[in-house]
Amino acid sequence: MTDVGSRHLVAVLVLDGVLPMDLGIPARVFNAALGPAGEQLYTVATCSLGGRPVRTNQDFTIVVEHDERLLARADTVVLATQEPGPVLLATGEPPAGVAAALALIPDRTRIVSLCTSAFLLAAAGLLDGLGATTHWALADDLARLFPRVAVDPRVLFVDNGRVLTSAGGAAALDLCLHLVRRDHGARVANGAARRCVVAPWRDGGQAQFIERPVPEHDQDSTSRARSWALERLADPLTLEDLARQAMMSTRTFTRRFRDEVGVSPHQWLVRARVDRARQLLESTTIGISQIATECGFADAVTLRKHLLAETGLNPTAYRLMYSTPAPAV
């Protein structure tokens, strides 16, 4: 359906041919984002500054062409560079060529920094007056070197609309998933997460990221119903109950739920119940069947079945594996 030429082009920008492994993995999220017909939605290309070709064992599409052309054509540029060198840390001066390269990026192009790449964006003035984050260990340095940047080390990532920055480690992954979700919805993002073998999208209830001036601030119309359900997991909850909380027909509720959360209401509910059961297994010595009851499962057999499906362990094995030893009284 979608011809290759019209796909969203993601250019992963690295320095001197080095793509840090922990930053290559997040970029794979884009490759794993598939449309309804199983077609790829993004083309990911790496792009190296400093002459050396990118060496990577990631399954990226490697576009062999001049870096300038790629930066000018890309819809999204992802900066995935190693930690800032001593020069940048001391003076705020980026490595040679970076400023010129960033200047080639058109005004409309989305720019994303992973981890410490935020230093390059800041040095180029692209973060002036904006919120930003970076690896927590270097957040102070970023704030000191670039006082015009509002550094917030506590969040996983900051979305300014066109310019986005992420903290270190798994946060880079969260940011990439966030972008996929913005572009194509929760369902596609969940699929990408699953294919990348990362935790599925966390529930919006405890969103750890902040969304600054995002144009489409979607107020999840089903989030009320979700938190309502979480407070009475022990009760039998039907689709109709949830839809009533949201003041929608079951049909509309089901549809919106899928769009917003990525899974069906019932799947979500079962998962919420399993999560609760896992907490109880980990932190208490309550009997299995009582846990089942408290989590809204009909009986221990049902709990066992769902826990097995989600974790591969039955309740007793799960408890043995994950329970924290009771602290001495």
Q: How far is the CB of 73 from DNA (least distance, A)?
A: 27
Given its phi and psi angles, is residue 267 left (phi above 0), alpha (psi -120 to 50 degrees) or beta? alpha
Q: How far is the CB of 265 from DNA (least distance, A)?
A: 4
C-alpha count within 13 angstroms, C-beta hemisphere, residue 7: 21
Using alpha carbons, select from 263, 213, 198 the residue that is nearest to residue 22.
198
DSSP 23-60: HHHHHHHHHT-B-TTS-B-EEEEEEEESSPPPB--S--
Q: Which is nearer to DNA, 36 or 53 (CB)?
A: 36
Using alpha carbons, select from 204, 196, 195 the residue that is nearest to residue 262.
204
Q: Which is nearer to DNA, 99 or 263 (CB)?
A: 263
How many residues in the shown chain lie near DNA by CB under 7 A? 24
Q: Which is nearer to DNA, 21 or 309 (CB)?
A: 309
Q: How far is the CB of 187 from DNA (least distance, A)?
A: 9
3-state class (DSSP) for residue 269: helix
* Chain residues 53-72 in contact with DNA, contact rule CB under 7 A: none
Q: Which is nearer to DNA, 65 or 299 (CB)?
A: 299
Backbone angles phi, psi at 288, to 5 degrees: -60, -45
Q: Is 299 in the site for DNA (CB under 7 A)?
A: yes
Q: Is 181 in the site for DNA (CB under 7 A)?
A: no
Residue type, 127: L
| Alpha-carbon span 229 to 239, nearest angstrom | 11
Q: In the stretch 13-32, what mask flags binding to DNA with x, by CB under 7 A? A: --------------------
Q: In the stretch 232-271, what mask flags binding to DNA with x, by CB under 7 A? A: -----xxxx-------xxxxx-xxx-x-----xxxx--x-
Q: Which is nearer to DNA, 118 or 295 (CB)?
A: 295
Residue 9 near residue 74 (C-beta atoms within 8 A): yes
Q: How far is the CB of 266 from DNA (least distance, A)?
A: 3
Binding site for DNA (CB under 7 A): 237-240, 248-252, 254-256, 258, 264-267, 270, 297-299, 302, 305-306
